[in-house]
Amino acid sequence: MAEPGSRSSATGLEPATHPPSVDEWAFVDLHCHTSASFDSLAAPARVAAVAAHRGLTHLAITDHDTINGALEAQAVAPDGLTVIVGQEVRTTEGDLIGTFLTRAVPRDLSPAEAIAAIREQGGLVGIPHPFDRLRGSLGAALERLGDLAARVDWIEAWNARLVFGDGNARAAALAHDSGVPAVSVSDAHTTLEIGVASTALSLAAGDPGTTAGLLAGLAAEPRLMTGRASIYVRAVTPVAKVIQRVRGRGR
């Protein structure tokens, strides 16, 4: 795990001041997938074990359309790792992230309906990869949807899976202009990607394993740890989709 304070200029964010001690920081990844998703083969228990080994303290498992993988990982998470139950929710306009969920959010709701369903559970909401043209992203609809960006709790200013184009820089600008905290995430679909990007939050603000603590940490100048796994790792995803489809787990 890299030291907090490392930010890529590609995000458009200024470098953070190096914190005095890593013991004062939580290392949080708010977007990660397991084999409960249609496009991953990473077993939930293995994801949790690797996350702990690589220094993450908090991991939101956000599988597509289900919370089952997150619940499985949460039940076997090693000491020192808090698994947050989340979901990548497919809306009619693009994807949203819901966290601190107790039940899965139905797909194909409008963004406003999906946010309401997450809030009803006491959950928090993030916008993943808003300007990634290769995935289900909300970017194209944000202007039409008015104040949607300002209604969420964070925006992914750095998504480690976004390789081409200026999507991360545009996302960072959106977070800044909307007054919404920016985060850095791995969006890992394989264990090789776990820990390549994360967000360092001050533990003085509270425990990010709770909704109040996470919100307070995001409000207290989070440090974005920006990195990427090898581009070749992404070649696993199409293979995973085929295998999952054969298993009857396709989308």
Q: How confident is the model at residue 225 (pLDDT cuts 50, 70, 90)?
A: very high
Over 60: is that where the pLDDT of 111 sits? yes
What does pLDDT average to over the chain?
88
Residues 234, 239, 240, CA angle at the centre, nearest 5°?
90
The pair of three-digit structure tokens given for residue 69, joined into one six-digit string? 């993988």
Closest to 130 (Cα-Cα) out of 91, 74, 182, 168:
168
**Could you tell me the pTM of the whole model?**
0.88
What is the per-residue pLDDT across 59-109, written as a single tens digit (0 to 9) for each?
999 999 999 999 999 999 999 999 999 999 999 999 999 999 999 999 999
Least confident of 17-31, 112-126, 143-157, 163-177: 17-31
**Torsion over CA: 99, 139, 159, 217 (sign):** negative
* Residue 235, CA distances (Å) to 99, 204, 229, 239 in order: 28, 40, 12, 7
Whether residue 68 contacts residue 85, with contact meaning beta carbons closer than 8 Å, is answered with no
Distance of CA 90 to the CA centre of its chain: 14
- For residue 81, give the amino acid letter: L
Which fold is adopted by the domain 21-246?
A: TIM Barrel (3.20.20)
